[in-house]
Chain A
Amino acid sequence: METKKELTCIGCPMGCSITVTMEDGEVKTVTGNTCGIGDKYARKEVTNPERTVCSTAIVSGGDLPRVSCKTKTDIPKSKIFEVMKEINEIKVEAPVNIGDVLLDNVAGTGVPVVATKDIKKVS
């Protein structure tokens, strides 16, 4: 049986309205997207939705008490809160640089959590 799903692409701020046509759990067509990101997002969203999680971690001895961080790539949407729990246990010391790995393999996803801000060490 053919079913249609209406999605709003989150690939970029354009927010294209995408229609996915599915048959027996398989994606048949993707329309309404204006680029390849939309096609990829729509196919993933209807089968195995993923998100990047952005948060902060505790940092000591730096010019700010928190360093922003993110999962380096998307993680399964169903694991968002498990990922958050582990991020909230991270404690690092300044200095921190953008791209520094703060946590390997967060919540068993195989994805590292990396810093997204430079934190200078202050004495």
Chain B
Amino acid sequence: MMNYDIVIVGGGPAGLAAAASARKAGIDKILILERDNRLGGILNQCIHNGFGLHTFKEELTGPEYAQRYIDQVLEDKIEYKLNTMVMDISKDRIVTAMNRTDGMFQIKAGAVILAMGCRERPIGALGTPGYRPAGIFSAGTAQRLVNMEGYMPGREVVILGSGDIGLIMARRMTLEGAKVKVVAEVMPYSGGLKRNIVQCLDDFGIPLKLSHTVIDVEGKEHISAVTIAEVGPDRKPIPGTEERYTCDTLLLSVGLIPENELSKGAGVEISRITNGPVVNESLETSIPGVFACGNVLHVHDLVDYVSEEATRAGENAAKFVEAGCRETTSGEDIKLIATDGVRYTVPSTINLGRMDKMLTVRFRVGAVYKNAAVSVYFNDERVMHNKKRIIAPGEMEQVILLKDKVAAYKDLKNITIKIEQD
């Protein structure tokens, strides 16, 4: 069996940043396992710009952003294996993987960092009525076909769901000569970033129909048309609002699901809200020495935040290894409670002994709030009240907790984060 201090599952933005930070923290034996044939993960197909403004203070495309981290990993001589599928992670951190050159092999890891990312919700998960002909793609599949493999999925396109990848693909297909007829979103608000609605839809006059969904798919061999209809507050179609669009392609951008089969296999506790592991302030899962970061933990809007989160996971995994693969704790954990519009928080608990000077707590809300505030309570006392013009489910929010303040508060059991409207 091989031995490594840290094994990182996934060579996308999270895995790369975690590897680089663990090396910076002095860890020698690090191994990245990546199932694709190149490092960089999903960034390789995200050829649009807008990445890196927070991290590098310049606007990069996805592949350029990825290359910065790949270069770092190569410069640091961090080991990695491509075309390698991890089959299993055990509670005592034995990683079983396989590839064509090594066959099946096992690694004893001091710490494991989960960085497997997420995948797209498929048509089968939606219960859309009608046929299931060829020509229905998830937006990300279409993105890979167009941007990496050089195939156009079709010429007349309807997009269901207004997630960022769907918006980006509306523009991309338009640029390549397709006619994107409509983007239908079942919710009364978009799931994507505002800037993407402006520069991907408005720029090209593509209509976004909120509170609309696909109620019929036509075509036996290949898709020929879809019917969309307005939905009421119960998300049920309203009779009389049907509109039929002829098309040869239906793209879906209806949500991303963290890919946690390996985590579940290891026995990691999974949040029912994020579908990602429940983690403490160190981004450590319910299994000591197993850390998680990036979209496998919770789906992010910005890769910059993935990199930052992964950097912390790398540092914390390094601390765990340096401490002899044992946890350092002091006293009881403080619970983070998400309520009144806040759907979840990452992390879920804080142990003061391991808390950094500053801790970023990230969360999403469940509805659109205008002129509301993000409030933080220590036990029952309000200690923070950040007013915002708009808070929306499509945009991840954050609050920063200072260790000094948390430590100084007597008998602190719960930190509650909620939305308050004045």
Q: Which A residues fall within an 8 A CB radius of B?
A: 7-15, 17, 51-56, 58, 63-66, 68-70, 77, 80-81, 84, 88, 98, 116-118
Contacts and interface: CB of A to CB of B under 8 A. Distances in A.
Contact of B203 (A14, A51, A64, A116): A51
6 contacts: A8-B195, A10-B199, A13-B193, A68-B63, A70-B49, A116-B63
Interface in B229-283: none
Interface residues of B, number: 35
Contacts of A117: 44, 47, 63-64, 67
A80 B395 CA distance: 28
Interface stretch (B125-133, B142-150, B353-361): B142-150
A13 B64 CA distance: 17
Contacts of A52: 49, 59
A68 B199 contact: no
Interface centre among A10, A52, A65 (most CB of B within 10 A): A10
Interface of B: 37-38, 44, 47-50, 53-54, 59-64, 67, 146-150, 175-176, 193-195, 197-199, 203, 301-302, 389-390, 395
Nearest to B305: A13
A56 B48 CA distance: 10
B195 A13 contact: yes
Contacts of A54: 47-49, 61
B193 A15 contact: yes
A64 B63 CA distance: 13
Contacts of A98: 63-64, 67
A70 B49 CA distance: 8
Interface centre among B50, B61, B203 (most CB of A within 10 A): B61
Contacts of A69: 47
Contacts of A81: 175
B226 to A, nearest CB: 26
B203 A77 contact: yes
B149 A10 contact: no
A116 B47 contact: yes
Contact of B50 (A8, A13, A68, A116): A13
Contacts of A12: 50, 53-54, 59, 195
A4 to B, nearest CB: 16
Which 10 pairs from chain A and chain B are nearest by CB?
A: A15-B194, A68-B47, A117-B63, A116-B61, A10-B195, A15-B195, A12-B53, A66-B150, A65-B150, A8-B198
Contacts of A8: 194-195, 197-198
Contacts of A17: 194, 389-390
A45 to B, nearest CB: 9
Contacts of A84: 175-176
A17 B193 CA distance: 12
A54 B200 CA distance: 12
Given A13-B50, A68-B61, A116-B47, 18 more contacts: A9-B195, A10-B199, A12-B54, A13-B302, A17-B389, A52-B49, A53-B175, A56-B146, A63-B38, A66-B149, A66-B150, A70-B47, A77-B203, A84-B175, A88-B176, A116-B64, A117-B63, A117-B67
Contacts of B395: 15
B372 to A, nearest CB: 15
B150 A10 contact: no
A7 B198 CA distance: 9
Contacts of A11: 53, 195
Contact of B199 (A51, A55, A63, A65): A51
A20 B311 CA distance: 38
A85 to B, nearest CB: 9
